[in-house]
Amino acid sequence: MPSTTAQPILQAHALRKTYRMGRVDVPVLKGASIDVHEGEWVAVLGASGSGKSTLLHLMGDLDQPDTPGGGFVRFERHMLAEMHRRDRNVYRNRTIGFVFQFYHLLPELNVLENTILPGLVGMSRLRYWRERGPLRARATELLDSFGLGHRLKHRPRELSGGERQRVAIARALLNKPRILLADEPTGNLDEDTGRDILDLIASQHREGLTIVMVTHDRSIAERANRIVELHGGQVVEQP
Amino acid sequence: MYQALLTNRYLTTRVIPLIAVAAVALCVALVIIVVSVMTGFLNMVKSSGRVLMGDVVIQYPVQGIPHFELVIEELERLPEVAAATPVVDSWGLLKMPYPEGPNKDTRYVQIWGIEPESFARVTGYADTLYWRPLKENQRASEHDLRRLMTDQLVEDAMSLRDHRTGRPAIVMGMHVSEGNQRQRDGSYHPLGDGYWWMPQYEVTLTTLPVDTGGDLGLQPESFIFPIVNEFVSGVFVIDNTRVMIPFNVAQRMFHLDEAERVDEQLNPVGVFPGRATIILVRAADGVTPDRLRDMVATAYNDLVVRSRSGDPAFHVPLQREGFGLSIRTWEQQQAQFIGPVEKERELMRVLFSIIYLVCAGLVLTIFWAIVHEKTRDIGILRSVGASRFGIAAIFLRYGAVIGAIGAVFGLGLAWLVVNNINAIHDAVGEDAPRWTWIAAFILAGGALMMAVFEMMRDRMLRLVLWALGTIVLALLGIGLYFHRGTLLWDPSVYYFSKIPNVIDFNTAITTMIGAVIFSVIGAFVPAAKAADTDPVNALRYE
């Protein structure tokens, strides 16, 4: 169990996020704060529309909090808002791994290509030619360990939902990220397949990966070390 | 690196980019075809000028240049001059051997009196002679009369003398006789399956000489010439009007030969020297026409000065540009044709540059649709660390690749069309073969059956596509059925008997580069839109 007194690896502080729907401002997050420590598996529980995904997007630098006074996200000692744009790209590429409810695989690429995509994004052509062997080996190893070794050349449309989500997790893990951000990773799967996916995430957690997972399902949230609930746009710690 | 992978996959797995490639290819092909034909036309005007008149032309119409032999001798001493030849140039009436019966056709012709040997050294005369034995590797139909020819026809044409009788002979432009029919392969076949082959007939040439004062006070001259050959210069106006006769005969017919000079009491006081109305000069290797013109002008003016300081009877006319004797390069001589064609070509180039904007507009529209379709992919790529510039680069690269592939296909298409433009023209000029419209109707029937089949299966898109196919094929069949030969390139209007069919590679390269640049420009706006796409909204995009 990680220590809660140590410096958090990822900290969201007093986050505010407002969406504009036509002429109406709709506040989603109203000062949400959460500290995530290294090696933790935190489940963010909340009803649909409570702002779970928004919180995850802000923590993963896919979105920015309101300005001014919208709070901040800090990775170790680095404030995301103050990081150079290039460093933030590197943050999304190497530090964070995203897993989405709807898998979000590129339909034109096969399983192997989808998996090595984060590796390609972070590489120049020259570096790719130099490191393509280890890169492909890493992707193949991940897919093998997820039971997809025979599906490398298949397109996403040829896979089941569970297989697609395993490819998405393999893609998220390719660059050995410090933190996995999972947005309802089982939300689109049947119960058995969802359990398999959670087992897979749990195995990664056992290997030391920090995980933040949002879900609306308490039974799924209970697989995590710690559960926080988003309520009224704020994070409420659960006992 | 991911841009290359995605560009490759977006290109090879979707139909929309193929439409963009086709659009660019058509734009590129259109520009290359139009400008190549215009450039070829211009080059033909230019090269034909050189083939027909050498590099520099000294001209003094009607009255002629006296002592032309001396002028030629002086010129041929210059190292810049390869050869020079005199020509008598005027007009006359030619009575043709056809039709059968006493009333023959008579037509107006340009008469060139030439010394064949020196004329051939200055111009491409020898190569323009048409009736000659086929070369070993020359392809020709089995009905081609040239299979029966001997070298004697060329020898007679090169001496302008009928070897059987020793009489002065005439060589006519191929289109002077209406009996010569141009075949699809570019060869000629006389009407009546060879019956009206001219070199077995005689023609009567009538001229109206002008006296030294420029007046028509002299009797018309008529002369019967056996025809010994016909020439094809490729310039319709020349082939349709010009005939060649021996220089000395032409001098006599136009009263430009040496004549006794008498005083008022008709006592001989000297001679009028023989005259030529044109002297054609060919440059030595490596000498430009402009330089040659300057050298010829200097030599000619020296001769004028020398002649005037000596024998008062020895008189050659002064050079005065635009009036009297002129010395011009072949380009200046052809300026009346070259100038307008050059301007027309530039006009075409500018007008067809609008095609680039069409190209950019098409790419913009198609890419806008692609970016719209790929919104979610953009969100995914941003989530795995792709930068905004990296996203934009995908679409810019995509635009460049589509532009480059389209440009290459466009060049290929243009090459196919331009290379076969005369065959296409000839095919359009004839009735459509029966099999073409039958095939179109059969295909239309097949498409109709497929449309009915898809209607029964309740598939709207396929039904519409097959129905459209049926309509297009049926219209094509109807069009072919009713198609009657249409003459698009009338040689009497367009100056040449053949459409230029060589790709202008300078234009091709600039057009291809332009297509790539404008495709990238067209991709800029969609690329910027892609870069600006909010990843969160993109991931939520359905």
A20-47 pLDDT, tens digit each = 888 898 899 999 999 999 999 999 999 8
B189-203 pLDDT, tens digit each = 888 888 899 998 999
* Cβ–Cβ below 8 Å for B382 and A85: no
* Burial group, residue B302, by CB count within 10 angstroms (0-12, 13-18, 19+): exposed
Lowest average pLDDT, out of A61-65, B176-180, B242-246, B341-345, goes to B341-345
Extract the tokens encoding B315.
């008189």
Q: Residue A4: how many CB atoms within 10 A of its CB? A: 10
A93-103 pLDDT, tens digit each = 999 999 988 88
Task: Give residue B347's pLDDT band: very low, low, confident or very high (50, 70, 90).
Answer: confident
| Cα–Cα separations (whole angstroms), residue A108 to B12, B33, B385, B481 | 9, 37, 19, 46
- Cβ atoms of B180 and B230 within 8 Å: the answer is yes
A118-157 pLDDT, tens digit each = 999 878 778 888 888 888 999 999 899 888 889 899 999 9
Distance CA B258, CA B119 (A): 21
Q: Is the per-residue pLDDT at B520 higher than 90?
A: no
* Cβ–Cβ below 8 Å for B385 and A125: no
> In the block, which residue shows the tokens 């000395």?
B248
Residue B10: partners with Cβ closer than 8 Å, 6 or more residues away = A108, B17, B370, B374, B398
Of B193, B94, B79, whose CA–CA distance to B143 is shortest? B193
Nearest to B536 among A57, A90, A106 (CB): A57
pLDDT at B184: 66
| Cα–Cα separations (whole angstroms), residue A36 to A45, A138, B337 | 15, 27, 84
Distance CA B397, CA B11 (A): 11
Percent of chain B past pLDDT 70, that is, above it, reads: 93
> In the block, which residue shows the tokens 């030849």?
B85
Checking DSSP bridges between strand B242-246 and strand B170-173, what pairing results, if any? Answer: antiparallel
| Cα–Cα separations (whole angstroms), residue B291 to B73, B85, B127, B297 | 19, 19, 26, 10
Q: Is the per-residue pLDDT at A1 higher than 50?
A: no
Mean pLDDT for chain B?
86
Three-class secondary structure of residue B93 per DSSP: strand
Shortest Cα distance, chain B CAs vs residue A92, angstroms? 5
- Cβ atoms of B231 and B174 within 8 Å: the answer is yes
Q: Where are the beta strands (DSSP E) in B158-211?
A: 170-173, 180-182, 188-190, 202-207
User: Pick the residue with more confidence: A4 or A175?
Assistant: A175
Q: How far is CA B327 from the centre of its chain?
A: 26
Task: Give residue A91's pLDDT band: very low, low, confident or very high (50, 70, 90).
Answer: very high
* Cβ–Cβ below 8 Å for B9 and A94: no
B77-122 pLDDT, tens digit each = 999 999 999 999 999 999 999 888 888 999 999 999 999 999 999 9
Task: Give residue B165's pLDDT band: very low, low, confident or very high (50, 70, 90).
Answer: very high
Task: Give residue A59's pLDDT band: very low, low, confident or very high (50, 70, 90).
Answer: very high
Three-class secondary structure of residue A202 per DSSP: helix
Nearest to B377 among A85, A92, A106 (CB): A106
pLDDT at B321: 53
pLDDT at A70: 86
* Cβ–Cβ below 8 Å for B384 and A100: no
ipTM of the complex: 0.88
Q: Is the per-residue pLDDT at A5 higher than 60?
A: no
A186-206 pLDDT, tens digit each = 888 888 888 888 898 899 999
**Residues on A contacting B at a C-beta cutoff of 8 Å:** 54, 57, 60, 62-63, 85-86, 89-94, 98, 100, 104-106, 108-109, 113, 117-118, 120-125, 127-128, 171
Following CA atoms B154, B157, B163, B166 in sequence, which dihedral angle do they give, to the nearest 10 degrees?
A: -170
pLDDT at B496: 62
Instruction: List CB contacts (< 8 A) between B534 and chain A.
Output: 63
| Mean per-residue pLDDT, B380-396 | 88
| Cα–Cα separations (whole angstroms), residue B368 to A49, B121, B146, B374 | 31, 64, 62, 10
- Cβ atoms of B491 and B389 within 8 Å: the answer is no
φ, ψ at A182 (rounded to 5°): -115, 120
Task: Give residue A238's pLDDT band: very low, low, confident or very high (50, 70, 90).
Answer: low
Exposure string over B516-531, b if 16+ CB within 10 A, otherwise e: bbbbbbbbbbbbbbbb
| Cα–Cα separations (whole angstroms), residue A37 to A9, A11, A208, A218, B382 | 5, 8, 11, 21, 25
Q: How far is CA A159 from the centre of its chain?
A: 22
Checking DSSP bridges between strand B106-114 and strand A41-45, what pairing results, if any? Answer: unpaired
Three-class secondary structure of residue B243 per DSSP: strand
